[in-house]
Amino acid sequence: MARVFSGIQPSGELHIGNYLGAVQNWVQLQHQHDCLFCIVDLHAVTQAYEPATLAQRTTDMAIGLLAAGLDPERCIVFVQSHVPEHSELNWLLTIVTPLGELERQTQFKDKAQRQASVPAGLLNYPVLQAADVLLYKATLVPVGEDQLQHLELMREIARRWNGRFGEGFFPQPQAHLSTAKRVLGLDGQVKMSKSLGNTISLFDTPDTIWEKLRPAATDPARKTRKDPGTPQLCNVFTIHQGFSPPETQAHVARQCRTAGWGCLDCKRVLADNMIATLTPIRERAQQLQARRVTDVLRAGAAKARALARQTIAEVRQRMGFLAGAEAS
Ligand code: AQP
């Protein structure tokens, strides 16, 4: 059994990019491995955010994850800021992290561009991510393709720390990619993102799903109904791969390549399959009570913290800190 760690920011509503790129995988992995899934609120505050809504968004994200199928009997679900050891290890890892590598990260460059004043926390984002994973000595990290560069840096940080303080202490975590590893936004331009408003939420009603899907961008080379399309270049086909059974995908691909179907025909089939998957998730979310969610997160933090403390105690010792008066 591998130890699995992955996180998601409470920076908006859970969307189908998060679901297909990460969360659907988490639900599978909890049956096979020792899994921790974390709502990374400390990461979420590196972008512009509203303090008045952060707590509610964190609860809503927990509701979304449980409704999507995470089972607290099978995995640990918790909030990052409830386990202070994440912040401590983050700091301790900064001293082996090359500044140039942080500045080279594509996500940093993208997100920095969207901010008038760039906070140092945004630059440090991948170090905190490394701390999240290494704190639990996780070896498998299910993520979307956008996170692969961060994973590579995480391995570099682990190697450098090990080289200086203890060979073999931290493992080299590997990415675990899903089939729909990069879902574009409905405009077909950039990655689907909570903060860009180009999403279909996991909680959208059937009517809203169709309203959003109907005008969504498809293969840009398919200019008219009579032109054959290329499914591999179509974001709607990527989404089919997440929601439609293999025989439907093959049929859709054939109809697209031969111009047998127009894009709207293809989208209607997709909408039906999305609605079939998402309706039970939306209904479960409506039934989940806030009290139950609080209890799950409290129990999850206690379990995570017990593991985190062991790692931090050893890290402190290997790094040479004076022992004996740590805060409890
Ligand atoms: N469009 C996507 N396609 C595939 N996978 C995706 N993920 C996110 N967007 C897509 C995967 O979802 C997990 C959680 O992501 P996150 O919340 O930690 O941060 P993010 O990647 O920055 O997600 P967003 O939606 O784009 O949030 P904002 O707008 O707040 O930055 C990750 O595993 C990610 O790979």
CATH number at residue 166: 3.40.50.620
Write down the mean pLDDT value for the chain. Answer: 94
Q: Is residue 137 included in any domain, yes or no?
A: yes
191 catalytic per annotation = yes
Q: Is residue 93 included in any domain, yes or no?
A: yes
pLDDT at 328: 61
pLDDT at 305: 98
109 catalytic per annotation = no
Range of the domain at 98: 3-183+289-319
For 57, the token pair is: 């968004």
Same domain, 133 and 217: no
Same domain, 59 and 179: yes
Residue nearest to atom 2 of ligand 1 (CA): 17
Per-residue confidence band for 57, with pLDDT thresholds at 50, 70 and 90: very high
pLDDT at residue 18 greater than cutoff 80: yes
Same domain, 216 and 127: no
Same domain, 12 and 78: yes
State if residue 11 touches ligand 1 by the CB under 6 angstroms criterion.
yes
For residues 173 and 154, the answer to whether their CB atoms sit within 8 Å is: yes
Q: Of 82, 211, 117, 149, whose CA–CA distance to 141 is shortest?
A: 149
Q: Is residue 221 included in any domain, yes or no?
A: yes
Query: What percent of the chain has a predicted confidence (pLDDT) above 90?
Result: 84
Same domain, 11 and 145: yes
Edge-first strand listing for the sheet containing 3-8: 75-79, 34-39, 3-8, 140-142, 174-176
Same domain, 172 and 218: no
Per-residue confidence band for 327, with pLDDT thresholds at 50, 70 and 90: low
pLDDT at 79: 98
Express each pLDDT in 242-282 by its tens digit. Answer: 999 999 999 999 999 999 999 999 999 999 999 999 999 99
Query: What percent of the chain has a predicted confidence (pLDDT) above 70?
Result: 99
List the catalytic residue out of 111, 137, 223, 267: 111
Q: Is residue 55 included in any domain, yes or no?
A: yes
Q: Which of 18, 125, 186 to mutate to test the pocket of ligand 1 (most atoms within 8 A of CB)?
A: 18
pLDDT at 324: 79
Same domain, 108 and 240: no
pLDDT at residue 325 greater than cutoff 70: no
Same domain, 170 and 23: yes
Distance 317 CA to ligand 1 centre (A): 35
Per-residue confidence band for 291, with pLDDT thresholds at 50, 70 and 90: confident
Same domain, 76 and 166: yes
Distance 215 CA to ligand 1 centre (A): 23
pLDDT at 146: 87
Same domain, 300 and 280: no
List the catalytic residue out of 137, 191, 212, 303: 191
Q: What is the pTM of this model?
A: 0.93
Side chain identity at 82, as an amino acid letter? H
Q: Of 40, 45, 50, 195, whose CA–CA distance to 120 is shortest?
A: 45
For residues 36 and 142, the answer to whether their CB atoms sit within 8 Å is: no
pLDDT at residue 225 greater than cutoff 90: no
Per-residue confidence band for 182, with pLDDT thresholds at 50, 70 and 90: confident
pLDDT at residue 214 greater than cutoff 90: yes
Q: How many domains does the chain have?
A: 2
Same domain, 20 and 123: yes
pLDDT at 310: 97
Side chain identity at 1, as an amino acid letter? M
pLDDT at residue 180 greater than cutoff 80: no
State if residue 10 touches ligand 1 by the CB under 6 angstroms criterion.
no
pLDDT at residue 135 greater than cutoff 70: yes
Q: Is residue 136 included in any domain, yes or no?
A: yes
Q: Is residue 190 included in any domain, yes or no?
A: no
State if residue 198 touches ligand 1 by the CB under 6 angstroms criterion.
no
Q: Is residue 19 included in any domain, yes or no?
A: yes
Q: Is residue 80 included in any domain, yes or no?
A: yes
Angle at Cα 208 formed by Cα 186 and Cα 222, nearest 5°? 35
Closest ligand 1 atom to Cα of 47: 30
Per-residue confidence band for 172, with pLDDT thresholds at 50, 70 and 90: very high
| Domain CATH number, residue 255 | 1.10.240.10
Same domain, 144 and 8: yes
Distance 193 CA to ligand 1 centre (A): 6
Side chain identity at 317, as an amino acid letter? Q
111 catalytic per annotation = yes
Per-residue confidence band for 178, with pLDDT thresholds at 50, 70 and 90: confident
Average pLDDT over residues 55-66: 96
